[in-house]
Structure 1
């Protein structure tokens, strides 16, 4: 892959951590609206958001009068609600509470004649403060949020190319608002043992359906207070014996016995001479670690160069 002319943005968790905590909850509200109005898709693929040319989007959501869409715009810093009947409402993004954001969004949807009913508390976070009551999270640094989104744009392009190198069942490149991570997942086609669940404020049955079949999954996560370093990850479920002992690239990648995953920090990729190539090395080599130790069918991989011009 050729290096893009525009460099990858520098990410500093200490500068965006409070903004991240607030926007994470905003995306949960937006994602839950998509969830409640969409038909169920296996592995909860109907709940995710997608990286767009201006931020994050739900894509089309069905409702009684057609379809509507919610777009978090991290250039103009607004949430745009648009519908197929020509209606359009805007909610400004600024340092405001989760409760304020939630109340205004529901008010705009009601004004547009769009009925929604969601479980109005966050998932996969602890404590889970109901959205209507959350006056704590109210930070928004427009510059830092724009940088984080720009990183997602760079990453999404590499993930999309990696996704194309697989002929078996593979997820979209999508953004999970539960953990606030961008991910893409490959499937072996075989059923997996029942998952134990265990995510905070998340029903075990949801996790069990998500991991009903063998997967090799990779993604990007912007960090947390306990691990304040944005990083790429790669894991498989179930985890075959010897997975963590496989040789992967680049040299800076490492395996966490505690987490059962391979990691590569964002800083290593961002500072390299060819971020796209370095990240692709990580994605391909960690998938091969899962495929080799898990005895995946080699025919599921395809040679993209045969189709390129």
Structure 2
């Protein structure tokens, strides 16, 4: 399924439930893995069936976890061949965390799941979050399909850059898929201030100049799914950049360039509309920030390296 319909207003409860479950899963790498620059080790990858962790080392074995949006289950594997799983049925976050901790323990991975979510206004600890949760497996599948479609274009966009670039990966705190390019120059200290996120994490993430693009299903100032682009530091004049396609615009509240998912999906070629947004927003921000020349190259052809 490519570019499924999303309806944030009608489906928000399911989106928030999926986000809450991914918050619990996302904390695992912060307890098992060395810190990688900008928190990349803790991000999740969008894969054909759902959202997957990087390898989680714990004791004598290594582990991998998948939230399987296709079948509606959490699946865990260990390097010694053991497997565990449990279904997604709209359980409370407290029950989900308990099931996950039990599954990990069954595989021999004793990884603590204490704490609570990040980058949300109300950070209820996982163990005590007994609030009712909405769930519909079909909605979860469609949302995953949207993330998967965006990720495919983000991966192609990433191939056209010679400088340091993040993978296309999902940050579970803010629940957005992002791909970020770096100029190689340091940036002014970030002021921080994100809810329930230590400022030291934010400042390390923004230690160097970035131009970033992302996709999230709604919330945080815009009540529909959208792709966005911004720069840090944000240059004067970014709101006047000639961003494409024509439906893209500057969002004053967010301080970012935005293309709604609905407008992208309605385009004759959604892939081309998204790529136009990514390339034009990057080009405009890079020019305003006077980024070094020669960082962009033709996007990588399939099966062979590009001509550089």
TMscore range, shorter length: over 0.9
Residue aligned with 2:42, SS: coil
- Asked whether 1:32 is paired with 2:22, we answer no
In 2: Cα distance, 1:292 partner to 1:211 partner = 19
Contact 1:22 1:137 in 2 (8 A): no
Evaluate the alpha carbon distance shift between residue 229 and residue 22 of structure 1 in structure 2; reply closer, same or farther with a 3 A threshold.
Answer: same
Counterpart of 2:173? 178
Residue aligned with 1:216, SS: strand
Residue aligned with 2:294, SS: helix
Counterpart of 1:263? 258
Counterpart of 2:195? 200
Contact 1:217 1:236 in 2 (8 A): yes
- TM-score by length of structure 2 reads 0.95
In 1: Cα distance, 2:195 partner to 2:27 partner = 17
1:84-122 Cα deviation digits (max 9, x unpaired): 101100010112111110011111111211021244211
Q: Indicate which of 65, 69, 74 corresponds to 2:69.
A: 74
Q: Indicate which of 66, 79, 94 corresponds to 1:84.
A: 79
Counterpart of 2:247? 252
- Asked whether 1:156 is paired with 2:144, we answer no
Q: How far 1:34 sits from its partner (Å)?
A: 1.8
Contact 2:97 2:113 in 1 (8 A): no
Counterpart of 1:303? 298
Range with greater deviation from structure 2 (108-117 or 93-102): 108-117
Contact 1:97 1:137 in 2 (8 A): yes
1:210-248 Cα deviation digits (max 9, x unpaired): 000000000001002853210000000001121221111
Contact 1:75 1:146 in 2 (8 A): yes
Q: Over the residues paired in the alignment, what is the CA RMSD in angstroms?
A: 1.5
- TM-score by length of structure 1 reads 0.95
- Asked whether 1:135 is paired with 2:130, we answer yes
Unaligned runs of 5+ in 2: none
Q: How far 1:66 sits from its partner (Å)?
A: 2.4
Evaluate the alpha carbon distance shift between residue 164 and residue 100 of structure 1 in structure 2; reply closer, same or farther with a 3 A threshold.
Answer: same
Q: Indicate which of 234, 241, 245 corresponds to 1:239.
A: 234
Residue aligned with 2:250, SS: strand
Q: How far 1:27 sits from its partner (Å)?
A: 0.4
Evaluate the alpha carbon distance shift between residue 161 and residue 44 of structure 1 in structure 2; reply closer, same or farther with a 3 A threshold.
Answer: same
Contact 1:21 1:137 in 2 (8 A): no
Contact 2:2 2:146 in 1 (8 A): no
Residue aligned with 1:302, SS: coil
1:148-204 Cα deviation digits (max 9, x unpaired): 001111111000000000000000100000010000000000000000001101111
Counterpart of 2:273? 278
Residue aligned with 1:24, SS: helix
Q: Number of aligned residue pairs: give it.
A: 304
In 1: Cα distance, 2:2 partner to 2:77 partner = 33
Evaluate the alpha carbon distance shift between residue 78 and residue 109 of structure 1 in structure 2; reply closer, same or farther with a 3 A threshold.
Answer: same
Residue aligned with 2:133, SS: coil
Unaligned runs of 5+ in 1: 1-5
Q: Indicate which of 84, 105, 117 corresponds to 2:100.
A: 105
